């Protein structure tokens, strides 16, 4: 399911390329037809097979894209035994509550986007981030995960994510939330299952 999501993002890029290529190609051929004395319209070039193929293949492509799109859209509604990760934005640090780890604060400790207690996620496990705030509006954002969820006081926003690679990922608060806005990085460690520990 996760790789489907990644595949969809890739497909979108290919479709954008294709969408740019088609008008350029059509304009080129049109121009060529206008100036060429031997244009296509002067020949008998109807072909049922070609017309059939260029109707069926794009239709199939649209069906496949619709299917992937629906999967991507419904990805957030999936409830596949997600591990709940509560995320609370505070002035100016993040608090996490991860099942198995309990509740803890993640406070910035140096200028290179380091925090004392990073958020620990396990590889290939579905996590549901439940995001809220205890004071002003923050925004929980991890660009490498394609995640950006507003943390709004009195409201619970959520997003699902399943880490597909090991590593340390850095995100930021992306809502101007006060004097310490720049000093509340999100640091996520994706580790192997069973390696959780807090210092």
Does residue 108 bind Cu ion (CB under 5 A)?
no
- Measured from the CB atom, the residue of 88 and 162 that comes closer to Cu ion is 88
Query: Phi/psi of residue 18, each to 5°?
Result: -65, -40
Distance CA 124, CA 164 (A): 6
Binders of Cu ion: how many residues, by CB under 5 A?
Answer: 3
Cα 54 to chain centroid, rounded: 32
Binders of Cu ion in range 128-157 (CB under 5 A): 138
Least CB distance from residue 121 to Cu ion, whole Å? 21
Residue 152 burial class via C-beta count within 10 angstroms: exposed 0-12, middle 13-18, buried 19 and up? middle
Say if CB 101 and CB 40 are below 8 A apart.
no
Kindly give, in sequence order, each residue whose CB lies less than 8 Å from that of residue 137, ignoring residues fewer than 6 positions away. 89, 150, 151, 152, 153, 175, 177
Candidates 173, 186, 190, 191; binder of Cu ion (CB under 5 A) is 173
Least CB distance from residue 152 to Cu ion, whole Å? 11
Does residue 88 bind Cu ion (CB under 5 A)?
no
Does residue 177 bind Cu ion (CB under 5 A)?
yes
Least CB distance from residue 150 to Cu ion, whole Å? 10
- Measured from the CB atom, the residue of 85 and 87 that comes closer to Cu ion is 87
């Amino acid at each position: 399911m996760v790789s489907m999501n990644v595949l969809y993002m890739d497909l979108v890029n290919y479709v954008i390329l294709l969408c740019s290529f088609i008008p350029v190609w059509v304009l080129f051929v049109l121009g060529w037809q206008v100036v060429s004395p031997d244009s296509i319209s002067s020949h008998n070039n109807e072909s049922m097979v070609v017309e059939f193929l260029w109707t069926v293949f794009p239709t199939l492509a649209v069906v496949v894209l619709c299917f992937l799109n629906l999967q991507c859209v419904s990805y957030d509604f999936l409830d596949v035994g997600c591990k709940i990760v509560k995320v609370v934005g505070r002035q100016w640090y993040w608090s996490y509550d991860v099942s198995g780890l309990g509740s803890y604060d993640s406070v910035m400790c140096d200028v290179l986007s380091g925090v004392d207690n990073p958020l620990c996620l396990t590889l290939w496990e579905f996590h549901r981030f439940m995001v809220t705030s205890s004071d002003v509006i923050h925004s929980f954002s991890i660009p490498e995960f394609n995640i950006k969820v507003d943390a709004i006081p009195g409201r619970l926003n959520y997003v699902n994510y399943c880490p597909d690679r090991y590593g340390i990922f850095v995100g930021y608060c992306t809502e101007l939330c006060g004097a310490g806005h720049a000093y509340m990085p999100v640091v996520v460690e994706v580790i192997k299952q069973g390696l959780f520990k807090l210092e």
